[in-house]
Amino acid sequence: MTRKLTLTIELVHGKYWLCQRGVYERSSVLAGQDFRQLNKAYDTLEEAQTDNPGVKFSDEGRPEIFIPTHAPSWFDPADAGEAWGEEDY
């Protein structure tokens, strides 16, 4: 499966960040949910755009994350010796 990633420039905590956005793959606890990774900070939007031509400014904000309470069908505690939830220990 090919992982589709997009780059954006976003204002986060007073800095302009080059961000990578995508979707968590099925092997993740957060499978199917959006992610945002902050890659490099810049003091100004102009610096960020000059260093990353063609990357657009975005004000999408931080993606919401939901951690499921029940393990997905592929999860096997024997694989790593870990449980899905606190009550499973």
Question: Residue 80 domain-assigned?
Answer: no
Question: Residue 41 domain-assigned?
Answer: yes
State the DSSP string of 38-87: EEEEESSHHHHHHHSTTPPB----PPP----SS--TT--HHHHT--SSGG
Tokens of 40: 């490099």
Question: Residue 44 domain-assigned?
Answer: yes
State the residue range of the domain holding 56.
6-73
Question: Residue 85 domain-assigned?
Answer: no
**pLDDT value for 2:** 46
Question: Residue 89 domain-assigned?
Answer: no
Look at the chain and report how many structural domains it folds into: 1
Instruction: Give residue-wise pLDDT tens across range 14-25.
Output: 999 999 999 988
Comparing 7-11, 52-56, 61-65, the range with the smallest average pLDDT is 61-65
**pLDDT value for 1:** 40
Question: Residue 88 domain-assigned?
Answer: no
Question: Residue 83 domain-assigned?
Answer: no
